[in-house]
Each structure stands twice: as C-alpha cells, then as structure tokens.
Chain A
Amino acid sequence: MQPIRQIRSRTVVLPASNIDTDQIVPARFLTTTTRAGLGATALFADWRFDASGKPRADFVLNQPAATGCRILVAGHNFGCGSSREHAPWALVDYGFQAIVSTEIADIFRSNALKNGLVPIVLGAEEHAWLIAHPGIEVTVDIEHKTLALPDGRALEFPLEGFSRHCLLHGVDELGFLLAQSEHIAEFEYHRA
C-alpha cells in the first residue's frame, strides 16, 4: 500500500443512500481471479452503461466534470451488503482515493482501509452541504483527520489511530499480524 498524507481533488456526488456493493460491482464481474481492471468495466456497471454497453450520458461519472475526481461524496450508508472487496478495488482502480458519507457499512469500511481508500464519515449538515455543492475542490488531510472546504473550514472526521498510521506510512496489516506469531503460538499452545 502506498503512503497517503493528503488528497486534494474536486468531488463527484452520488446522492443516493444505501448504495450497496452489488451496485458498485455487480456479481457477474466476480469471477475474476485478480484485483486489476475492475475500474474500467465493473465499477457501477449497470448505472454507467445501458443494456447494450453504451455509456449513459445522464450518469454522473460519464460527465466531463467527473474526470480526474478522486473523492466520491455518496449518500448515507455507503457500501452496504456483500463483503466483496472487489468494490473498493474497483473504486481505487477507477481513481478514487476517498469516500465521503454520513455512514459507511462496516465490512466495506474495513476493506477500503486495506486498499488505501479513505472512508470519511461527516455529520449530516456538513455532508448535505457537500452533496449540494458537487465539483468543489476539497483537501483531505490524513494526519489531522480533516476535510478542508474552499472557504477554509476544516471538517474533522473519525479515523482510529491504527488505521491512520497504516494510511500515513503505507503499512500492510498482514506484516503487523505476522509479527505477532509468537503471541499466536502461545495462545494456541494454551488452548490445546
């Protein structure tokens, strides 16, 4: 995982609440055996493309203003449903680095953090403001756990110490767990 300190980007807004992981990556794309390439074809496939595979002009990601946006502002309870990590893989592969909502489902949040996709939960009022102002440029600061608006206001968001450390330093949790092997062996010995 690459270290991340700051993300400066315009936002793209998907206001619907309860966007589930079946919308983010429909199940027919899950027969893949790699993480790569899901951004181009699978991400929001049934919202982005019509039945014949043509991009739908009215979908926000197909509009010119969305090009290069790395921060997705989405409605309440983003990422609910299936545990498929293909959802954050696809979002990251497409170019997103942060998701902003008023609530982010547990498994999606956990999966996102392991892929350098920052889950940002804001209060309802601040979130509503962002929904109402698509395309504004904001700056996410991982170290200070803030999302700064163009007017200089810095909105704080929760990010626990360990996750923040992993994002800032590109730490892979597997390495951390492997380093616990003596504790694990001791636990197994006492239980046996």
Chain B
Amino acid sequence: MTAQTMLDKIWRSHVVVPETADVPAVLYVDLHLTHEVTTPQAFAVLRAGNLKVRRPERTIGTLDHSSPTQADQVFGRVPIAIESARLQMAEFERNCRQFGVELLDMKHADRGIVHVIGPELGLTQPGSTIVCGDSHTSTHGAFGALAFGIGTTEVGHVLATQCLLQRKPRATAVNVHGRLSDGVGAKDLILAIIGKIGVDGGTGSVFEYRGEAVRGLSMEERMTVCNMSIEAGARAGMIAPDATTFEFLAERPRSPRGAAWERALECWRTLPTDMGARFDREIDIDAATLEPMITYGTNPGMVLPVNGRIPADGDAVFHKALNYMGFSPGDALKDKPVDVVFVGSCTNGRISDLRSAAGILKGKRIANGVRMLVVPGSQHVKRIAEAEGLDRIFTAAGAEWRESGCSMCIGMNGDTVARGKYSVSTSNRNFEGRQGAGSRTLLASPATAAAAALRGRITDPREVLS
C-alpha cells in the first residue's frame, strides 16, 4: 500500500461512490452541524419535495449567529430586539421540531457557537467528515477530521441524503518548524501563515498543519489555527490526532465510552499521515521568529507584527484598504487609538482565550473611552469562566460580560461597531463592514486585544504580561 496522507485516509473511508472523470464522488457525512442562518431555505426544499432528514441522529442544531447575547433577551424576559432575527430563530426551532433534529435552543445549557459546542460535547471526532453551512467549519479539523463549510443548497443535500457531491481536494502540508516564543500564540501563528501565503493561497486544497510547534499546541489552540484555514482560501485545515486530542475527548458527554472508546482510539491512531506520503504542496514557516500579529487592512492577509509598519506602497487594493481603515502607508500600528475591543467568536471564544485576556486585565481597568465586550463561545464556556471568577475580572475592569453567540464577529444580532470606529477583535474577518457598516477591524489574539483595551492603544501584549 502506498503511503497515504491523513486526507487520503479520511476521504477513502467516506466515499460512497468513487469520482470519475465525469462525475464527482458521493461523499458520506458523519456529522452535520446546523444553525438558524444558513438552513431555512434548505428545509424549504425538503418540505417542497416531501423529503425527510435522512439521518436526524447525525444532525444537530444550535442558535448562534443571529441570537442575542443580552441575558434578558436570551432568557425571554424581554422580546428579542431584532424582529427578523427572532423570526429566523423561531423558524429554525420549528424546522428542527418538524424534521426531528435535536436543537440546543436558546435556554439550553449546551447552546453556543456551532464550532465551539461540537468539540465541547465530544461530537467532533477524529477520522470523521463534518460539514456545516458556515465556512469556519474548518475548526473541527483540529481533531483530525475532514471538516468544511458548505452552502445552503448543500445543506439541503446533506439533510436529504447525508451525502455531498465532491471532488477530492489537494493536500498541502503546512510545516511549522521550531517553537513559538513566550507571548506568541496560536492566533499569531495562523495570522502569520495567512500573511505569508495570502488570502487565496489555499484555494482548492486542504491544509495539514504539522511540525514541532503544532504538536506543542493545546486542542483549543489547534482549533484557532484550523478555524482560520478558510481565511487563506483552504476549505479545511487538519491536525493529526495525538495524546493531546485523546485527552481532550476523553469523558466528553458524547464521546465513546468503555470498549467503544478503546476501539475508537485504535482506529484514531491509524489516521496520521504515513511516513513518506506525498503532499501536493509544502509550505514551511519558522515559529521561533514569529511575534504577536495584528491586521491593518481589510482582509486577514494584510497583517503585520504588532511592532511593525504598514508597507510604504502597494497596489490599488492596498490603497483602497488603507483609505477605508484611515491609515497611511508607512504608519506604525503600535499606539494607534482603539475604540472597541471584542473577545469572543469561534476563533477565540474558548476558555483558554478568556483566561488569556483575563490574565492581562486582572485587578486593572480598561482605558477611558474604550468599550470592551467579552462573549464566551458557549454557555458551557460561560459557566467555567464564572466558576473561575473571570467574569468578575472583566466586569471589574469595565468590560461587558455576555451570553454566548457569534456576536460582534458578524454583527447580525445588533452587537456592532459604529461607523469609522476602530475595533481590536479576536474574531476571524476584518472585511469592510464586517462588524457593522463602516466598522474598522484589526484582528489579533486575546492577549493583544486585552492589552489594547488596557491602554486604549495598540500594544504589544508582552509589555503588559507580568
């Protein structure tokens, strides 16, 4: 048998009908994650065709994108402020009920961002295929799964047939050599990778992150890296499962138990890429030289070390982006003023992210005039944070502490940044208007975001880490 990549192995074990020159493969989907925004039109197709959900037990729904983060609205003490969002969530609840799909509804203790709850519940498992009508489905690849975002028509395909028509993507190895220095984290690593290869560098391929620095990352950090694979154009990112993965998954509510766990481990240990397997492309990056990173433009590839300067010149898109951001060529980013700080999202809304931000803010106050919003990735993350007293650190510092959801990453629920204001955000996209019409987003790690909140200016987090 020729040496195989992890992608080869997972792909082969899910092919229902092989691809030919004329027709793509029929690929089986193990887990379908769903939410309120990208499903209503798919359920409408099922209803029109008198079709059922083929495998409701492989499908789970949560409310995250348009859901409010204010407790009063979440727990029904006041109406949900945005009427169209309320109607969309009500429709999703009705669809899940009618089609027999489990829904973690608004008051459910396990509700949260779709890419946070999958791993948290143990639904995300090595070797599986996972899809969702959301591009950040790449997050789940951190467990050695093939996980990618799909459109709403494909959501309908999976609901009705548990399958997708797919061509096998190319495999790209992203080799991260050496180790990250102190004060430099997973977010800095993935931003540096996107900066190196560009926002289209991964089109048509699946990234496998490899190397010493990747092995040294926790599961939550691995999720941050895989999450932003799509920002380099790769539909999926993956990391070989190892002891770190198994330790994370052991005893999760929906992980296998007993003999089934032992069988699963045996299978999961066969997943890593074989020695000598060939990738279609290899990208090399040196972790040791990386610094805390922050974006300055209107896509995640426009990124710099926090102590860096914006390039002196660029193409028309570069100048358009700087004009939008209100920056000039050659500007230093450090000490630029900040209006809003957002800590949360499927990229950085997990407990380790909140601990990192709280570590910087403990016993301190954020700068006058800065609004800081901290939104846990799930209700579970919220409970752990509150048990550790992180909520009190944030509120004592002057930040707002909310219920879980996508919140200010996408701004669908009213949590937005005002026109022209600068937001240092732990989310994944700095596109024009991403956090609200006219908003200006600078993507960074939770540590860099907290440091910016503390000083009211862009700050190297290593200066405030004690």
Which A residues are closer than 8 A to B by beta carbons?
A: 15-18, 20, 22-23, 26-28, 30-35, 46, 51, 75-77, 80-85, 88, 103, 105-107, 110-111, 114-115, 160-162, 165, 173-174, 176-178, 180-181, 183-184, 187-188
Name the residue among A22, A115, A160, A183 with the largest chain B CB count within 10 angstroms: A22
Which residues of B are found within 8 Å of A34, using beta-carbon distances?
40-41, 44
Known: A33-B41, A106-B204, A178-B160. 15 other contacts (CB 8 A): A17-B315, A18-B200, A23-B433, A27-B434, A30-B412, A33-B91, A51-B438, A81-B230, A83-B135, A83-B151, A84-B38, A106-B235, A110-B154, A174-B49, A177-B165
Give chain A residues whose Cβ lies under 8 Å from the Cβ of B235.
106-107
Chain B interface, DSSP helix/strand/loop, else mixed: loop
Q: Which residues of B contact A81 (CB under 8 A)?
A: 135, 230-231, 429, 431
Interface-located stretch among B21-29, B103-111, B112-120, B362-370: B21-29
Q: Could you say which of A30, A83, A181 contacts B161, with CB atoms under 8 Å apart?
A: A181
Closest to A112 in B: B151
Which of B81-89, B179-187, B392-400 is found at the contact surface with chain A? B81-89
Pick from B23, B87, B151, B320: contact of A107, CB below 8 A: B151
Tell me the bound Cα distance from A22 to B437 in angstroms.
11
How many angstroms between the C-alpha atoms of A15 and B317 in the bound complex? 9
- Check B199–A77 contact: CB distance below 8 A: yes
* A175 to B, closest residue via Cβ: B49
Give every chain A residue within 8 A of B199 (Cβ-Cβ).
18, 77, 80
For chain B, residues 8 to 24, give those with C-beta under 8 angstroms from any C-beta of chain A: 16-17, 21-24
> A85 and B151: CB pair below 8 A?
yes
Interface size on B, residues (CB 8 A): 68
Please state if A31 and B161 are interface contacts (CB–CB under 8 Å).
no
Binary per-residue interface labels of chain B (422-450) against chain A in the complex, 1 for a CB within 8 Å, 0 otherwise: 00000001011110011000000000000
Question: Which residues, 46 to 97 on B, are CB-close (under 8 Å) to A?
Answer: 49, 51, 54, 65-66, 82, 84-85, 87-88, 91
Chain B nearest Cβ from A161, distance in angstroms: 4
A81 to B235, CA, bound (A): 10
Could you count the A-B residue pairs with CB atoms below 8 Å apart for me: how many are there? 173
Counting from the closest, the 3 A-B pairs by CB-CB distance are A111-B151, A33-B40, A31-B84
A20–B45 Cα distance when bound, in Å, is 27
Q: Which residues of B contact A181 (CB under 8 A)?
A: 161
Most buried by A among B45, B82, B153: B153
Please tell me which one of the listed residues B41, B66, B85, B233 contacts residue A35 in the complex, with CB atoms under 8 A apart: B41
CA distance A16 to B40 in the complex (A): 32
Alpha-carbon distance A160/B160, docked complex (angstroms): 25
Minimum CB distance partner of B149 in chain A: A83
Q: Which residue of B lies closest to A114 (CB)?
A: B153
Q: Is B26 a contact partner of A106 (Cβ separation < 8 A)? A: no
Taking a contact as CB atoms under 8 Å apart, the answer to whether A180 and B151 are in contact is: no
Q: Are B26 and A184 in contact (CB under 8 A)?
A: yes
